[in-house]
A and B are shown apart, each in its own frame.
Chain A
Amino acid sequence: MPLAEPTQTASAPRPRPTKKFGSRATRTAIPAVNGSLYAARTKIQPQAVRGTFRRIKWALLAATLGVYYAVPFIRWDRGPGEPSQAVLLDLDRGRFHFFSIELWPQDVTYVMGLLILAALVLFLMNAVAGRIWCGYLCPQTVWTDLFLAVERLVEGDRRERLKLDAAPWSMEKIALRTMKHAIWLLIAWWTGGAWVLYFADAPTLVMQLATYQAPPAAYIAILTLTATTYLLAGHMREQVCTYMCPWPRIQAALTDEHAYNILYRDARGEPRVSAKQAAVLRAAGQPAGDCVDCFACVTACPAGIDIRDGLQMDCIQCGLCVDACDTVMAKLGRPAGLIGYDTEANRRSRAAGKGRVSHVVRPRTVLYAALVAGIGGFMLYSLATRSFMGLSVLHDRNPLFVTLSDGSIRNGYTVRLSNKRLGERHYALAVEGLPGARVEVVGGLAGDLPVPSNATQEFRVLVFAPPGAGPTASVPLTFRIADAATGETARARDSFKAP
């Protein structure tokens, strides 16, 4: 897997770390020929950092989890007999409620459109600033961040956790570990619990769950999601991104040298020397890098990599190394941004003593943005102008027509009427394109066909061509329904067959 390797080597020679920091350092220490194809995972214990990106991540964590856990409890009055939950996937009745929007199974094209839109937004994000999704918004990142925060709260920061890992089992260690896993399981259970609330009336389901009256599917879903959340966010963490997720591979094929990514500005950082030595060198007018090799960026990394090795597949671009490095630079009195968002083209240009060369507005970002705007606009338009009534017509396959005793021709059709509004509606059915035609509905009146609230109704419809004046060949026929109460109409085309 050569993809996973560092892509950028510093211009000046630098010492390789001899101490083991995270899995990558461990990995590179394996001798060539004797190296096993499998290795035990080295647990990563990231150091807490403070800074701009950490604050952004906390805010996004609160916002996304808040939306996830709270949305099922938002109420939305739709009238009697209809669910009063704002966002509800009603699988039994085949309806998706989203505030005032109600989608039927045949509206699944909107879901397809949303998925296309999501993919394009991901492409756009990637073209502008790399893996924004991975670093800030992906559920795996958000829940892992939450689980890390719990771990830090219970067991302390990196140093204490490493010490605890190495310590022999004691009452204190057992107590701390039990507490950590208990809180993790609680969050995991809550995650699964919130998931099922999107599929049934939330308050009712909460009561059912509490009294062990809920349907088995709810318990199975909760158990499954509890297990996956606990496992993926608590134990698997960065391995999900490195080994399981397809997006790092896809984004590697989509990216270009003008996309902003978190980069180590090696031209400024190298050669790495201690702060004291740098002061001496600078006083003597000799070059000295800003990087003091303090490993703050490495210990802060939740993926366990060294950002100074360059852009790499394991990097989720979370920005925590930027915060870590800026903190150190501030202490040393050097300018911030030794590690920061930049493009590969800019990095090279700066290394050559020139300025910024990358622009956010370039053909691929414009194309992605235009596609997002176009598809999004089309979807909004079609949603705003969609019909709340519908009919589909199916001509009898056999017989295609029937000759009656007075010589007139009759055609039979199966017509399904849909009512996407609440409350029963009455449609008037008529045909166009066959002068003098008579319409009859088996078990109903063509001028007054009742369709129940939020449902469809099938009718058998007979159309008679007038005797002597009927068509002598197949002619197109348009069925038209009208709701006198709202003035809405809908049409469907079929044909009238004749000998």
Chain B
Amino acid sequence: MADTANPGKPPAGPETTGHEWDGIREYNNPLPRWWLYGLYATIVWSFGYWVLYPAWPLVSGYTSGLLGYSQRATVLDEVEAVRRERDARGQAQLASATVAEIRADPALLRLALATGKAAFGDNCAACHGTSATGRIGYPNLQDDDWLWGGTPEAIEQTIRFGARSGHGEAHLGDMPAFGRDGVLKRQELEAVATYVLSLSGMPGVAGASVEKGAEVFAGNCAACHGEAAKGNPEMGAPNLTDPIWLYGSAPDQVVATVTNGRKGMMPAWEGRLDPATIKSLAVFVHGLGGGK
């Protein structure tokens, strides 16, 4: 506090340290001696710390200390402990319950969704995308259009055995190569492509006849896709009347599909993932929003 009573007049009494800088002198207010000892104690402490804990950076690495402590190891231990606890509680229940039972139990459903989300990122995202929106040739799992059925049980079935995967119980059924195998001529291919695009109100190949396309469809396609072109999940035949096109909805893309056929492959996951994970994946994929 400044001397408000007597400005200019130095306060009487206190001694100085004897130091002087440009006429400014420093009062000597000696610190208590224990304060100095406190400083020494922290120096001693720091030596102990250097020996016991990671301290000094080296050219490649650092001194790790006698205790071998590291925060990363501590965090990994904690994460492992939480994982073990979760596994013990929930995974056994997931393995023994059916998909329907899992969906009926809110706690189990939450666990399955979390497990499924993690497993999807690890196993499915490579083809179907991290947000399950798919891409050309790989189905979008967010929407409500399902090649092999969209019930939780049907999804579980597809994940377990796959489609055209070589597994004995896999979904089978190809889209034949009508053009390459010489079944249909170029004009007919364009006509049928224009016809199926017209079912969902989309433009077809310029100059192609829709009426002729309808004839071709009835003769060649209706067996699998149905008279009304609504598709058949038993054979993996897609619904051709909706705006969702797995291999693209541009006229030449549809023509290419009819010409060369399609046989997309979904691997079988049974044996590669445990039953609890497969069920969780089915619940998760169904819960993305498009499930039936």
Query: In the complex the two chains form, what is the Cα distance from A320 to B169 in whole Å?
Result: 94
Query: In the complex the two chains form, what is the Cα distance from A348 to B5 in whole Å?
Result: 7
For A257, list chain B residues within 8 Å (CB). Answer: 4
Using a CB–CB cutoff of 8 Å, the interface residues on chain B facing chain A are: 1-6, 9, 11-18, 26-36, 103, 106, 109-110, 113, 130-131, 133, 140, 142-145, 239, 242-244, 287-290
CB pair A35 B131 closer than 8 Å:
no
CB pair B239 A405 closer than 8 Å:
yes
Query: In the complex the two chains form, what is the Cα distance from A240 to B287 in whole Å?
Result: 62
Query: In the complex the two chains form, what is the Cα distance from A104 to B103 in whole Å?
Result: 31
For A319, list chain B residues within 8 Å (CB). Answer: none
CB pair A28 B32 closer than 8 Å:
no
| Per-residue B-contact encoding for A365-380, CB less than 8 Å = 1, 0 else | 0000000000000000
Contacting B15 at CB < 8 Å: which of A30, A252, A396, A403?
Answer: A30
Using a CB–CB cutoff of 8 Å, the interface residues on chain A facing chain B are: 1-9, 16, 27-28, 30-33, 35-41, 239, 243, 252, 255, 257, 309-313, 344, 347-348, 396-399, 402-407, 410, 412, 440, 442-444, 460, 462
For B289, list chain A residues within 8 Å (CB). Answer: 402, 410, 412, 440, 442, 462
Query: In the complex the two chains form, what is the Cα distance from A311 to B5 in whole Å?
Result: 11
* Given A4-B29, A402-B140, A460-B287, A38 contacting B131 (CB threshold 8 A): no
For B4, list chain A residues within 8 Å (CB). Answer: 7, 257, 344, 348
Interface of B, secondary structure class, is loop
* Given A7-B2, A35-B15, A38-B33, A398 contacting B103 (CB threshold 8 A): no
CB pair A32 B143 closer than 8 Å:
no
Counted as pairs of residues, one from A and one from B, with CB atoms less than 8 Å apart, the total is: 141
Query: In the complex the two chains form, what is the Cα distance from A255 to B121 in whole Å?
Result: 63
CB pair B144 A40 closer than 8 Å:
no
Q: Can you report 28 A-B residue pairs in the complex whose CB atoms are below 8 A from each other?
A: A5-B13, A5-B27, A6-B14, A7-B1, A7-B4, A8-B3, A9-B9, A28-B13, A28-B14, A30-B15, A30-B30, A32-B28, A35-B18, A37-B30, A39-B31, A243-B31, A255-B1, A257-B4, A399-B142, A402-B289, A402-B290, A403-B244, A404-B144, A410-B142, A443-B109, A443-B110, A444-B106, A460-B287
For A4, list chain B residues within 8 Å (CB). Answer: 27, 29
For B9, list chain A residues within 8 Å (CB). Answer: 9
Query: In the complex the two chains form, what is the Cα distance from A47 to B243 in whole Å?
Result: 95
9 further interface pairs, Cβ-Cβ under 8 Å (given A7-B11, A41-B32, A311-B1): A28-B15, A30-B15, A243-B31, A348-B5, A398-B131, A404-B244, A405-B145, A412-B289, A440-B289
Contacting B287 at CB < 8 Å: which of A5, A347, A407, A442?
Answer: A442
Which single residue of chain B is at the shortest CB-CB distance from A40?
B33
CB pair B5 A35 closer than 8 Å:
no
Contacting A1 at CB < 8 Å: which of B29, B36, B131?
Answer: B29
For A405, list chain B residues within 8 Å (CB). Answer: 143-145, 239, 242-244
CB pair A38 B1 closer than 8 Å:
no
Query: In the complex the two chains form, what is the Cα distance from A28 to B12 in whole Å?
Result: 10
For B34, list chain A residues within 8 Å (CB). Answer: 41
For A239, list chain B residues within 8 Å (CB). Answer: 32
